[in-house]
Amino acid sequence: MDCFGDKAREQMVRRYDISAVAHVKLLNNQKKHSCTGRVLTDSYYCFEYKGKNNGHDIGAFYCGEPTAKKFLALTGGDDPII
């Protein structure tokens, strides 16, 4: 899932029901790949999605705090606690 840029995020919110599942602190030297294409080294958010028109189109993606805050603002979701 590609979530780089505001247009991509807005399209995702129109196409999917998106909710935050977790905000996780990474261990030392641990890395996670973001849906923006960047490598996360401190913490990440996990979001789950379900297609609005296709209930079988489901999955999850990871992103850093700036992108997560934008998704939370677009969806009106709550910020999960680390």
Say how far apart CA 43 and CA 71 lie, in whole Å.
16
- 18 close to 47: Cβ distance less than 8 angstroms: yes
**pLDDT, position 73:** 97
Enumerate the domain spans of the chain. 6-75
Q: What is the pLDDT of residues 9-59, one digit of tens each?
A: 999 999 999 999 999 999 999 999 999 999 999 999 999 999 999 989 999
Kind and range of the H or E run holding 25: strand 16-25
- Whether the predicted pLDDT of 1 surpasses 90: no
pTM above 0.85, yes or no: yes
